[in-house]
Amino acid sequence: MALIVQKFGGTSVGTVERIQQVAEKVKKFRENGDDIVVVVSAMSGETNRLIELAKQVSDDQPVPRELDVMISTGEQVTIALLAMALIKRGVPAVSYTGNQVRILTDNSHTKARILQIDDAKIRADLKAGRVVVVAGFQGVDEQGNITTLGRGGSDTTGVALAAALKADECQIYTDVDGVYTTDPRVVPKAQRLDKITFEEMLEMASLGSKVLQIRSVEFAGKYNVPLRVLHSFQEGPGTLITLDEEESMEQPIISGIAFNRDEAKLTIRGVPDIPGVAFKILGPISAANIEVDMIVQNVAHDNTTDFTFTVHRNDYQAAMAVLENTARELGAREVIGDTNIAKVSIVGVGMRSHAGVASRMFEALAKETINIQMISTSEIKVSVVIEEKYLELAVRALHTAFDLDAPARQAE
């Protein structure tokens, strides 16, 4: 008998009919003798509807504490409906809000972090033969205020509960049947992976893969909680995300191709090449709470430097304003920017034991006459910045170059 935590997202519980389907799925697991804890999101679109209501009475700036009180109600509806649907099917069930379970968080409203979970109540219910249905995305701080965990918070709730309960597996049910080598909408030959490491999944998530939220993968890796991504309404083995790095001759060098269109590039030219210049450029950017991704610095023969970095496209205008001010202070020649760029990355733990991976990537892009503007590497990834109009071509070329669209990659 296994203890399984199952998480169902908003589209999986988007209608009463779908909640009924989820109840049937949970019932089957229960009939197999497994102990089940279910974490659910609000019904699809409900959180956005509640946020919009709050904005209408708050001039677009709702008080964070009150916003949390409001948007946490979305999950409360879902847990009650699912518990009712299970009980109707003869499956003993009980629903709990984050407050009732005592998912203790810090007091950062709308983006709280989980500090501790009291699992006593859940364990007592499981022992009594009940399915426990818990509201995702929410908790309570030490003062008893309702908090929410931010975007993707239900995934984090599921993983955190699995860690606290030492569950055998945490199953994330979504609208895809697993983690793919890349987005199948871009590369129709993309293949579902049977298994991927936490490290690879973390890179894929941070580089633009939207299957799982970064925080939930970090949490799972930290506490070694086996994660499985599955389709809500289609049968299949899904993708297991685990700590194991299986050494075998069949181990692919690259597990996947990630990409991100939400990039913008800024360059400050003709900066005096003196110690501390990087801090003088990036310090004000950081102070403006703007995250920098890739960085390239070129020193010219006239003792000046050109300094280029990328930011999220939403931060482009703010970053440009800060950089123009810095350029005046430093006596730089000019500031230029580009929002028509994208980042493409190859990811795989197999890189550690294989030389020439980067050159193979550059060769594949060169064959398609795609110019590389910036390069960033780590132990298990190589990322490049290219013109956005070549993004899909680049992804397809790399997918082929690293043998990811061969039929042999498909699960038997």
- Cα–Cα separations (whole angstroms), residue 59 to 56, 74, 202: 6, 22, 37
Please tell me whether 180 is known to bind a ligand.
yes
379 CB burial (10 A radius; 0-12, 13-18, 19+)? exposed
SS3 47: helix
Rounded to whole angstroms, the Cα distance separating 236 from 410 reads 13
Rounded to whole angstroms, the Cα distance separating 208 from 30 reads 35
Please tell me whether 311 is known to bind a ligand.
no
Contact status, residue 139 vs residue 149, Cβ threshold 8 Å: yes
Rounded to whole angstroms, the Cα distance separating 263 from 99 reads 38
Please tell me whether 105 is known to bind a ligand.
no
- Cα–Cα separations (whole angstroms), residue 72 to 122, 165, 321: 20, 23, 37
Please tell me whether 189 is known to bind a ligand.
no
- Cα–Cα separations (whole angstroms), residue 406 to 257, 366, 400, 402, 410: 15, 22, 8, 9, 8
What is the DSSP secondary structure assignment for residue 137, as one 8-state letter? Answer: S
- Cα–Cα separations (whole angstroms), residue 401 to 38, 129, 258, 366, 405: 41, 52, 15, 12, 9
Residue whose C-alpha is closest to residue 378's, from 401, 343, 400, 345: 345
Tokens of 337: 């920017």
Please tell me whether 8 is known to bind a ligand.
yes
Please tell me whether 283 is known to bind a ligand.
no
What is the DSSP secondary structure assignment for residue 389, as one 8-state letter? Answer: G
Please tell me whether 310 is known to bind a ligand.
no
Please tell me whether 75 is known to bind a ligand.
yes
Please tell me whether 25 is known to bind a ligand.
no
Rounded to whole angstroms, the Cα distance separating 346 from 222 reads 23
Neighbours of 197 (CB within 10 A): 20
SS3 249: coil
Rounded to whole angstroms, the Cα distance separating 382 from 374 reads 11
List beta partners, residue 334.
269
For the annotated binding site, the residues are: 7-10, 47, 75, 174-175, 180, 185, 210-211
For the annotated binding site for substrate, the residues are: 47, 75
For the annotated binding site for ATP, the residues are: 7-10, 174-175, 180, 185, 210-211
